Amino acid sequence: MLLPDYYEFCCRVKIVAGHDALEKIPDLLIERGAKKPLVITDKGVAGAGLIDIVSRALGDRVQADLIADDVPPDSDLRVVNRLARLYRDNACDAIIAVGGGSVMDTAKGINIVVSENAEDLMAFSGVGALKRPLKPLVAVPTTAGTGSEVTQVAVIKDHEKHLKMAFGSYFLLPDISILDSRMTLTMPPFITAMTGMDAMSHAVEAYYCLQKNPLSDAHALSAVGMIYRHLPLVVKNPDDREGRLAMAVAACLAGIAFSNSMVGLVHNLGHATGSVCGVPHGLCMAILLPYGLEYNLHKMADVMAELLLPMAGEQVYLATPAEQRAQKVVSLIRGLNEDLHAITGGRHARCLQEIKDREGKPSVPRDVLPQIAAAALLDGASIYNPEDTDYEDNLMVLEAAWEGKPLDRSRVKKG
Amino acid sequence: MNSAAVFDFTCPVKTNSGNKALEHLPVELAGLNAVNPLIVANARAVGPKAVRTLMNAFGDSKMTLGLFEGVTEAADLGVVDHLKNICLEKKYDAFIALGGGKAADVAKVLNLAVSLKTPDARQLSPKTPVRKRLLPLVVVPTAGADGLETSGFAHLNRMIFSSEFLAPGLAVLDSRLARARKGILMAATGLAALGRAVESHVSADRNPFQKAYSFAAVRFVRENLPAAVADPGNKKAALAVLNAAAMSGCAFSNAASGRLHKLGQVFYELLGIPQGVIMGMCLSRVLEDGFREGSCDPAALLQPLAGDDAFARTPAGKRAEAALALLNRFLEELRGALGKDLPKSLSEAGVSGYRKEEILDVLGKDEDGHYLRGVVEGMAGGKRERKG
Amino acid sequence: MSIIKDVQSGKKPLKRAYVAIFLWFTGRAIQAAAKVDSEVKKEFEKLPEDFTFSLGCLPCGPWMVVGREKGVVKYLGGDSRGRPVQVRLAIKSLDAGFLILSFQESTALATARNRLITDGEIPQALAIIRILDIVEVYLLPKLIASLAVKRYPSWWSFGRKLGGRIGVYTRTLLGI
Ligand SMILES: [Fe+2]
């Protein structure tokens, strides 16, 4: 295990996990002096009946009947301000966020506004603008993937001014994250597959990107093993409670790993593909992950090789010569995507050209690849990728991922 | 993962480790809204050079620092009360504990007293409710740290204060402070880290989050302690051992206090013997007994101890024995390298029969007292045979 | 006498001077590279007309400020003089600044090691980092530059390297 010359690691979130972890929330809130949380979520989560489960679990020891279930998937400053007003008008003293990335980001934004008594959220953007703890925030993730229940960043858009504001502070970390198997039990197989692959990409990228450190490594290794084992099982068998809990825990471990070690090319291109074509993040991650490994392989082969044991187990590990282990990891991830493709009846796309929208039209036509490659230059994840990337590099990777062919590694520019 | 029950995990400590880590302190403190920190140190234990290194790290920051160098092994709540009054008057807004042991204990309880504005700190007890966040606390462990610095525990006046709010918000591990003058100091730090990490790693109720910390701690000790002991000037190895200690404290805060910890603690509190020395003495015995009783799972240790290749080559059914054998060999080699410096028994550690009785008395009050007393008897040394 | 001593933090004049000189040098080099290198020029042209960025050390400096004035890239000294700064690259301490500017730690590595805080819009900050990378390749001998950047551009033509290097050097020193 390598000790970098210098590293930082932080995850202050209290993690509570189990089949009935939600029931612990009242005690945890009371311990922190809160009795009246504002529950925020989105229509999808509420429609799936998850808020009913949360409400029942909260019982009557705290007053949690104020529920805002209309956070849009593409939340923005207006939503943050409106819900912050709701919070203040009702003298709430904590926030419970139930949902995925958009709900978590919105909750973090509300928390800044109500804790700092801010009129203008913008004044707190950037890194280090927050100097003290905010109100208690309880995160209840409903997808086992994003890891946003343990990240210290929030991105909030201002649709009117066409701005995307990033906030970064350890004070944005939720106080408590609740990992409860009931929250993911009804997630449809193809969404389970792609959010699970998002978590996998967090763990794998965290393990080979530049900010890796012994603690992010330990979290990543354990996440990779759990996801590789459990993901195909829960996709095949959605009612598998143990598998669901394991995936929630693994996604959280992966979230801790990547928020401390950052992500690279896979997320860089994935963010760009998402914003140009509007395709789901997890699907991009699943498709691009093998390419991120291949692109950086000449620099990080030894490190990538260490992922083989947790993924494939002792037999495969021993049977694979040391110098082929990194390559084996790549093919196992491709194999996992193939399996997920088969189990979901083809809904889990294996390459960019297979992604279809609701009408069955291809979401990523080949001629937008240059646009994606250019958009990727504007994304921060490139900083942490082991190998440098420029426009041509991005395009080369995207073209291979579009066709679904392994990357021709002889074409990767090496310094 | 024991999924039948709900488990939880917290590690409030941020880690900054490595080259020039101390120099980031002004920025870290500013981020916590603190501008006027008080440094709490046992200058005799850490030496004047460590104090100077820490003070110099603030160079060019235009800050004013309070410095209390007078922590001793005898520090108690009386000292805390005295310090608290000065702190409230001078409005220190953060605490930095330099060095392990009592300096960290005093800083934690002082932070509690100042944050709660306790009228008389001598009245503080483990029952004092701690519900809110305290002022920012930074620990700067030096060679000779025991790992408890990063935990939510503080030992003072023979009382154990425990709360996640007592744990520091930041641990700064700097290469310049990691080096020890003598190999035995490094060994004591490493063995204390190993003891607590192992105990947490094999316990039945461990969870994956805690395991990340204990895994990394065990592997770091295994990979770096021999080098750090052989050459106390080896910065990189020493820093890795210090990292292991910090990680072990985080894992330990989330585990039930185990037998090794209890044994290490009682000898340290009563006789001032470094915890790692005692834990090293009884590590194998406690693990073997736990394995036999079925209360712990040493097989989990094989991967961090042996490395990936050896782990993969060992069949599942043989892993516990293999891990125990490896651990024994590791400890033997350490004893070989340190010779007389690392006592193998209580008599070698200079514990007289009379002091041993005192220890046995205290342990007798523990719920696990019968067992712990047996272990201490077995550690006595001389001709006595170890029995299973 | 109180058992607590209050101590003023000291000063580090030598390190400070070294960092200040290298920041000055880097600032002038960016100004020069913006004239000589087409890629640096292109990067700047994509930024707003009055774009200003700063690079320096927390908590008390030194800093260097570079900005566009009517489209022309200029080194603006060690102080933004009230100009709004769109991107701020802040090194967490003077000592870390010394590590970076004495090339013991590359910019990429310093970022990876969490020593650099980037404030401002991400696309603009990334452009600045790319510019710094190119300038480092010009200013430093290959051996040192290949430590400072992730991938030493071995595919640049010899002409770009040599011609560019001479241009950047003379302009840096003459301040044109
Ligand atoms: Fe992601």
CATH code for the domain in which residue B219 is found = 1.20.1090.10
CATH, domain range A14-183: 3.40.50.1970
pLDDT of residue B388: 37
Final residue in a domain of this structure, among B117, B152, B178: B178
Neighbours of ion ligand 1 (CB under 5 A): A 198
pLDDT of residue B2: 47
Task: Give the other-Cβ count within 10 Å of A258's Cβ.
Answer: 30
For residue C4, being part of any structural domain is answered with no
Backbone angles phi, psi at A192, to 5 degrees: -55, -45
For residue B196, being part of any structural domain is answered with yes
Q: Looking at the structure, do residues B51 and B143 belong to the same domain, yes or no?
A: yes
pLDDT of residue B387: 42
What is the A151 CA–ligand 1 centroid distance (Å)? 11
CA gap A363, A183 in Å, rounded: 29
For C119, the closest of A127, A387, A413 (CB atoms) is A127
Instruction: State the residue range of the domain holding C120.
Output: 13-174
Instruction: State the residue range of the domain holding B208.
Output: 183-379
Average pLDDT over residues A387-409: 94
Contact assignment for B209 to A15 by CB distance below 8 Å = yes
Average pLDDT over residues A283-298: 96
Q: Domain A190-411 adopts which CATH fold?
A: Dehydroquinate synthase-like, alpha domain (1.20.1090)
For A8, the closest of C111, C114, C118 (CB atoms) is C114
Name the β-bridge partners of C119: C88
Contact assignment for B131 to A14 by CB distance below 8 Å = no
The residues, ordered by sequence, that sit 6+ positions from A117 with a Cβ below 8 Å of its Cβ are none
pLDDT at B22 over 90: yes
Final residue in a domain of this structure, among B178, B204, B233: B178
Judging contacts by C-beta atoms under 8 Å, the chain B residues touching residue A24 are 6, 8
Q: Looking at the structure, do residues B209 and B171 belong to the same domain, yes or no?
A: no
Average pLDDT over residues C3-28: 87
pLDDT digits (tens, 9 = 90+) for C117-162: 887 777 888 888 888 878 877 776 665 666 666 666 655 555 555 5
pLDDT at B3 over 50: no
How confident is the prediction for chain B on average, in pLDDT? 90
Closest residue in A to C120 (Cα–Cα): A126
How confident is the prediction for chain A on average, in pLDDT? 92
pLDDT digits (tens, 9 = 90+) for B185-217: 899 999 999 999 999 999 888 899 999 999 999
For residue C6, being part of any structural domain is answered with no
List the chains bordering chain A where 3 or more Cβ pairs fall under 8 Å. B, C
For residue B104, being part of any structural domain is answered with yes
Average pLDDT over residues B121-148: 88
- HEC per residue, B297-329: CHHHHHHHHHCHHHHHHCCHHHHHHHHHHHHHH
For residue B2, being part of any structural domain is answered with no
Helix (H, G, I), strand (E, B) or coil at B37: strand
User: Environment class of residue A58 by beta-carbon count within 10 Å: exposed (0-12), middle (13-18) or buried (19+)?
Assistant: buried
Q: Looking at the structure, do residues B159 and B187 belong to the same domain, yes or no?
A: no
Give the Cα-Cα-Cα angle C97, C99, C101 (nearest 5 degrees).
Answer: 65
Average pLDDT over residues A140-164: 85
Asked if residue C62 has a cis previous peptide bond (ω within 30° of 0), the answer is yes
pLDDT at B62 over 60: yes
pLDDT of residue B209: 95
pLDDT of residue C152: 62
Q: Which of C126, B186, B293 minimizes the C-alpha distance to A377? A: C126
Judging contacts by C-beta atoms under 8 Å, the chain B residues touching residue C92 are 23-24, 27
State how beta strands A153-158 and A163-168 pair.
antiparallel
Q: Which of B200, B353, B361 minimizes the C-alpha distance to B279? A: B200
pLDDT of residue A101: 87
- In this prediction, residue A181 has a pLDDT band, given cuts at 50, 70 and 90, of very high
pLDDT of residue C60: 86
The residues, ordered by sequence, that sit 6+ positions from B374 with a Cβ below 8 Å of its Cβ are none
For B59, the closest of C2, C9, C92 (CB atoms) is C9
pLDDT at B281 over 60: yes
- CA C124 remoteness from chain centre: 14
DSSP string, B248-307: HHHHHHTS---HHHHHHHHHHHHH---HHHHHHHHHHHHHHHHHHHTSB-GGGGHHHHH-
For residue B120, being part of any structural domain is answered with yes
Task: Give the other-Cβ count within 10 Å of A316's Cβ.
Answer: 15
The radius of gyration computed from the CA coordinates of chain B, to the nearest angstrom, equals 20
pLDDT digits (tens, 9 = 90+) for A190-247: 999 999 999 999 999 999 998 899 999 999 999 999 999 999 999 999 999 999 999 9
For B212, the closest of A7, A132, A218 (CB atoms) is A218
Does A24 touch chain B if contact means CB atoms closer than 8 Å? yes
Q: Which of B47, B122, B120, B112 minimizes the C-alpha distance to B78? A: B122
- In this prediction, residue B383 has a pLDDT band, given cuts at 50, 70 and 90, of very low
State how beta strands C72-75 and A6-9 pair.
unpaired
CA distances B248 to A101, B74, B224, B252, C95, Å, are 32, 25, 15, 6, 30
State how beta strands B170-174 and B137-140 pair.
parallel
Q: Looking at the structure, do residues B119 and B162 belong to the same domain, yes or no?
A: yes
What is the A222 CA–ligand 1 centroid distance (Å)? 17
Judging contacts by C-beta atoms under 8 Å, the chain B residues touching residue C11 are 59-60
Task: Give the other-Cβ count within 10 Å of B18's Cβ.
Answer: 24
Task: Give the other-Cβ count within 10 Å of B261's Cβ.
Answer: 24
Q: Would the CA dihedral through B142, B148, B153, B154 be positive or negative?
A: negative
List the chains bordering chain B where 3 or more Cβ pairs fall under 8 Å. A, C
CA distances B1 to A203, B201, B207, Å, are 19, 12, 5
How many independent structural domains does chain B possess? 2
Q: Looking at the structure, do residues B23 and B48 belong to the same domain, yes or no?
A: yes
CB B18 within 8 A of CB B24: no
pLDDT at A170 over 90: no
What pTM was estimated for this model as a whole? 0.93
pLDDT of residue A295: 96
Q: Looking at the structure, do residues B214 and B143 belong to the same domain, yes or no?
A: no
For residue C51, being part of any structural domain is answered with yes
For chain C, how are helix, strand and coil distributed in percent, rounded to 5?
Answer: 50, 15, 30
Count helices and strands in chain C by DSSP H and E runs: 7, 6
How many independent structural domains does chain C possess? 1
End-to-end alpha carbon distance in chain C: 59
Contact assignment for A127 to C117 by CB distance below 8 Å = yes
Q: Looking at the structure, do residues B199 and B144 belong to the same domain, yes or no?
A: no
pLDDT of residue A153: 83
What is the ipTM for the molecules in this complex? Answer: 0.93
For residue C69, being part of any structural domain is answered with yes
Tokens 């040192």 — which residue?
C144
Q: Looking at the structure, do residues B242 and B159 belong to the same domain, yes or no?
A: no
CB B279 within 8 A of CB B191: yes
pLDDT of residue C151: 66
Task: Give the other-Cβ count within 10 Å of C116's Cβ.
Answer: 21
What residue spans define the domains of chain A? 14-183, 190-411
CATH code for the domain in which residue B79 is found = 3.40.50.1970
- CA C161 remoteness from chain centre: 20
Indicate the Cα dihedral angle A120, A123, A128, A134, nearest 10°: -20
Closest residue in A to C90 (Cα–Cα): A127
CATH code for the domain in which residue C152 is found = 3.30.1050.10
- In this prediction, residue B232 has a pLDDT band, given cuts at 50, 70 and 90, of confident
The residues, ordered by sequence, that sit 6+ positions from B157 with a Cβ below 8 Å of its Cβ are B76, B77
Tokens 């051996």 — which residue?
C143
Average pLDDT over residues A372-392: 88
pLDDT digits (tens, 9 = 90+) for B305-360: 999 999 999 999 999 999 999 999 999 999 999 988 899 889 898 888 888 899 99
- In this prediction, residue B285 has a pLDDT band, given cuts at 50, 70 and 90, of very high
Closest residue in B to A178 (Cα–Cα): B8
pLDDT at B233 over 50: yes
Interface of C with A in 30-49 (CB under 8 A): none
Does C128 touch chain A if contact means CB atoms closer than 8 Å? no
- Token digits for B277? 């020395």
Average pLDDT over residues C40-50: 87
Max Cα-Cα span within chain A: 64
Q: Looking at the structure, do residues B37 and B113 belong to the same domain, yes or no?
A: yes
For B14, the closest of A6, A8, A16 (CB atoms) is A8
Q: Would the CA dihedral through C89, C92, C97, C103 be positive or negative?
A: negative
Task: Give the other-Cβ count within 10 Å of C157's Cβ.
Answer: 10
CA gap B252, B213 in Å, rounded: 9
Final residue in a domain of this structure, among B178, B195, B225: B178
CB A258 within 8 A of CB A302: no
Contact assignment for C117 to A415 by CB distance below 8 Å = no
